[in-house]
């Protein structure tokens, strides 16, 4: 019997008998034989004699070009800001499982010259951005509603308040600059 754990099988493939195993997820029994229900990898558990098949194909892409994503800035370098994506707007059924890393290149920040990327983003900022490219996971914030949604004072970590087109710390009065989303501070995504 092809019972070795780790083997990849196709739907309908014989993977064991009911004398040897109890079928679980991705497996079914028919007339004493156990078959795979999906394309996947066989897993057996000697303790409860179970056999299951973990699917490996037809996993839908988690992100698509044009998706609006929310994430947190993790690092700001000379030419790119790194961002950890936390969710996709309006796509509840495609919520991110585990964080995904992406980058915003200095040329994709805004519709104007960027002198210094550290004047547009800072670590811990919550950012709304659009997916430009999946292979390199590039995002853009060129749009009025895209950009920083929430930012923390780099001095005292207090949430910054919007003051005209700048941000002001209500605690230490520090003034900071960001590429702001028009939705900054509204708590809406």
What are the residues binding Zn ion (CB under 5 A)? 153, 155-156, 158, 169, 171-172, 174
What does each C-alpha distance from 22 to 37, 78, 81, 141 come to in angstroms? Answer: 14, 57, 51, 52
Pick 146 or 180: Cβ nearer Zn ion: 180
Q: Helix and strand tally (H, E) in the chain?
A: 0, 16
Closest separation in Å from C-beta 40 to Zn ion: 52
Closest separation in Å from C-beta 8 to Zn ion: 55
Pick 139 or 180: Cβ nearer Zn ion: 180
Pick 28 or 124: Cβ nearer Zn ion: 124
Closest separation in Å from C-beta 168 to Zn ion: 9
Which DSSP category does 119 fall into? G
Closest separation in Å from C-beta 70 to Zn ion: 24
For 188, residues 6+ apart whose C-beta sits below 8 A from its C-beta are none
Closest separation in Å from C-beta 147 to Zn ion: 20
Pick 9 or 169: Cβ nearer Zn ion: 169
Residue 15 tokens, joined: 């993977």
């Amino acid at each position: 019997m092809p019972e070795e754990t780790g083997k990849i099988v196709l739907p309908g493939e014989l993977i064991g008998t009911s004398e040897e195993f109890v079928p679980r997820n991705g497996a079914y029994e028919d007339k004493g034989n156990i078959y795979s229900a999906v394309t996947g990898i066989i897993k057996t558990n000697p303790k409860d004699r179970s056999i299951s098949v973990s699917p490996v194909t037809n996993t839908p892409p988690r992100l698509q070009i044009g998706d609006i994503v929310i994430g947190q800035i993790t690092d700001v370098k000379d030419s790119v800001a790194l961002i950890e994506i936390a969710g996709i707007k309006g796509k509840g059924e495609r919520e991110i499982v585990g964080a995904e890393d992406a980058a915003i290149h200095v040329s994709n920040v805004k519709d104007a010259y960027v002198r210094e990327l550290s004047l547009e983003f800072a670590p811990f900022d919550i950012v709304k951005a659009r997916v430009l490219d999946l292979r390199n996971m590039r995002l853009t914030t060129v749009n009025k509603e895209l950009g920083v949604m929430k930012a923390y004072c780099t001095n005292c970590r207090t949430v910054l308040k919007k003051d005209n087109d700048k941000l002001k710390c209500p605690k230490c009065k520090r003034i900071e600059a960001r590429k702001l989303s028009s939705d900054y501070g509204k708590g809406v995504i």
